Amino acid sequence: MPLLVIPAILLICIILVDAFEAVILPRGVTHHLRLTRVMYLLTWPVWSFLARRMKPSRWRENTLSWYGPLAMILLLTIWAASLVMAFGTLYWSSGSNLMTTQTREQGFFIDLYMSGTTFFTLGLGDVVPRNTPTRILTVAEAGLGFGFLAIVIGYLPVIYGAFSKRETQITMLDGRAGSPPTAGEILGRLGRAGALTKIHPFLADWELTGAEMLETHISYPVLVYYRSQHENQSWVGALTALLDTCALVMAGIENVDAWHARLTFAMLRHTLVNLALIVHREPVPFQPDRLPPEELESLRAYLAKSGVYCLRTPEADAHLQQLRAMYEPYVNTLSQHLVLEVVPWRHAGAVQDNWKTTPFRSATLRAPGDLG
């Protein structure tokens, strides 16, 4: 039917623009009329709703970790199926000018079959076009299908390369801050090792990591839903621990210059805010307060025992409160959205280091010259 030609062409344009924006365009997309956005808005709430009904466990974490890869596969499938359906509709609307070499079957199913074999460049030859317009349409679909498959093949290594780079930095935090990482452990371990001055290259590494994470996750938003290999690690938790650390340094720590902490804080806060925008989440302040006065004093006392002396003045308290207000609402909203536990400022009990654990022994190993 000729009336279906325009909707079919419109569907092809929508899919091509959506695929271009999601795979090729190296910047965030601000408009809301996107198939990719609709797919995530419809599927993640259902998936996360089911996961929230489970008790916190490895099984729940594994269930949540499946979403990112499956969502990517689903999106690619939707793109391919929509293009095949649209081209099949164009064949049918143009009068089904196709010839079967072995049977005399006709109808929309044959048009759809022709579209599928052409798009995936199978070249079976049992259905062929009979006139020039249909031949042109066939060549156009074959070229589009070849390009689509090439883009998909190149897309997957880029996604997993960016994921691997992010996870490398998160995994390296285990020896420096335990799992999940906390600001108390980062500063405490540096203080106990007499290496507090080495915090500057550490923060410089994370300034670079934050910039790389921002660029890759804006270009490939599906990475937001890719979870870490260990259930007690996450990219949100890592950013939170580093922002907490920078905030403490900026509020005032004796003999520690705050210049690089300010740079890292600015970069990581920028990353956190933009990734919250990617998943369309408004900032939500913590209720109750994540660091009430008594816990702040406990944290400072803990750090003092490790040789890290925080300033204890009303000005330092006010400055720390202002810094926390700049990023904690985004930590809260992302943690809620992604079903992640918010990392504390300091572990209340024993700190777990993943590198010390093994599935073959229930006890935690203790090494000479322990990093913790």
Task: Return the structure tokens found at 273.
Answer: 């805010």
Round to whole Å and give the CA distance between 262 and 259: 5
Task: Return the structure tokens found at 343.
Answer: 């990392």
Are 35 and 129 part of one and the same domain? yes
Are 185 and 265 part of one and the same domain? yes
Residue 319 near residue 250 (C-beta atoms within 8 A)? yes
Assigned domain for 216 exists: yes
Are 333 and 195 part of one and the same domain? yes
- Please report where in the chains the tokens 């009979």 appear, as a residue: 130
Are 109 and 210 part of one and the same domain? no
pLDDT given for residue 103 in this prediction: 66
Assigned domain for 355 exists: no
Q: Which residues pair with 361 in a beta bridge?
A: 358
Are 193 and 116 part of one and the same domain? no
Round to whole Å and give the CA distance between 326 and 49: 29
At 83-100, the pLDDT tens digits run 999 999 998 887 777 877
What is the chain's pLDDT, residue by residue, as a tens digit (372 residues)?
Answer: 567 888 999 999 999 988 888 887 766 665 566 788 889 989 999 999 999 998 888 889 999 999 999 999 999 999 999 999 999 999 888 777 787 777 666 778 888 999 999 999 887 778 888 888 889 999 999 999 998 888 888 888 889 999 999 999 999 999 999 899 999 999 999 999 999 989 999 999 999 999 999 999 988 889 999 999 888 899 999 999 999 999 999 999 998 999 999 999 999 999 999 999 989 899 999 999 999 999 999 999 999 999 999 999 999 999 999 999 999 999 999 999 999 999 999 987 777 888 887 665 544 555 444 555
Average pLDDT of the chain, as a whole number: 88
Task: Return the structure tokens found at 257.
Answer: 């210059």
pLDDT given for residue 107 in this prediction: 79
Assigned domain for 358 exists: no
Secondary structure (3-state) at 213: helix
CATH of the domain at 109: 1.10.287.70
Q: What residues contact residue 204 under an 8 Å CB cut-off, 6+ apart?
A: 260, 263, 264
Are 21 and 96 part of one and the same domain? yes
Give DSSP secondary structure letters for 220-244.
Answer: -GGGGGPPPSSTT--HHHHHHHHHH
Q: Compute the 3-state secondary structure of the chain and give helix, strand, coil in percent, each to the nearest 5.
A: 70, 5, 30
> What is the pTM for the complete model shown?
0.87
Q: Which residues pair with 99 in a beta bridge?
A: 128
Assigned domain for 359 exists: no
pLDDT given for residue 1 in this prediction: 56
Give DSSP secondary structure letters for 143-202.
Answer: HHHHHHHHHHHHHHHHHHHHHHHHHHHHHHHHHHHTTTT-HHHHHHHHHHTT-GGGHHHH
Residue 194 near residue 309 (C-beta atoms within 8 A)? no
- Our CA angle for 82, 72, 24, nearest 5°, is 80
The domain tally of the chain equals: 2
Q: Which residues pair with 129 in a beta bridge?
A: 98
The H or E element spanning position 363 is none
Q: Which residues pair with 322 in a beta bridge?
A: none
Secondary structure (3-state) at 296: helix
Helix 5-19 and helix 35-52, axial crossing angle in degrees, nearest 10: 70
Assigned domain for 162 exists: no
Are 209 and 343 part of one and the same domain? yes
Round to whole Å and give the CA distance between 141 and 122: 12
Round to whole Å and give the CA distance between 209 and 166: 7
Domain enclosing residue 234, as ranges? 178-348
Residues 5-19: b if buried by 16+ CB within 10 A, e if exposed:
eeebeebbebbeebb
Task: Return the structure tokens found at 218.
Answer: 């804006």
Q: What residues contact residue 99 under an 8 Å CB cut-off, 6+ apart?
A: 127, 128, 129, 130
Give the residue from 372, 323, 335, 165 showing the smallest Cα distance to 237: 335
Residue 340 near residue 236 (C-beta atoms within 8 A)? yes
Are 10 and 58 part of one and the same domain? yes
Are 148 and 222 part of one and the same domain? no
